[in-house]
Amino acid sequence: MTKLSVNINKIATLRNARGGEIPNLVKMATDIEKFGADGITVHPRPDARHITYQDVYDLSKVVTTEFNIEGYPSKDFISLVKEVKPTQVTLVPDPPGVLTSSEGWDTKEQKSLLKPIIAGFKEEGIRVSIFLEPNEEMVEHAKACGTDRIEFYTGHYAANYHQKEKEVLPYVQACKKAVDCGLGINAGHDLSLENLAFFIKQMARVDEVSIGHALIADALYYGMEETIKKYKAQL
Rounded to whole angstroms, how far apart are CA atoms 112 and 188? 25
Q: Is 43 a catalytic residue?
A: yes
Cα 58 from Cα 47, distance rounded (Å): 18
Determine the Cα–Cα distance for residues 176 and 173; give it in Å rounded to an integer: 5
Q: How many helices, marked H, and strands, marked E, lie in the chain? A: 12, 8
Cα–Cα distance, 139 to 175 (Å, whole number): 9
State the Cα–Cα distance between residues 2 and 9, nearest whole angstrom.
Answer: 21
> Which of the following is catalytic: 50, 141, 156, 189?
189
Nearest to 127 by CA among 194, 198, 183: 183
Give the active site residue among 33, 70, 151, 208. 70
* Active-site annotation holder among 33, 43, 50, 66: 43
Amino acid identity at 198: F
Separation of alpha carbons 193 and 231, rounded Å = 6
Verify whether residue 213 is a known catalytic residue: no
Angle 211-83-15 from CA coordinates, rounded to 5°: 45
Which amino acid, 96?
A: P
Annotated catalytic residue 50: no
Catalytic residues: 43, 70, 189
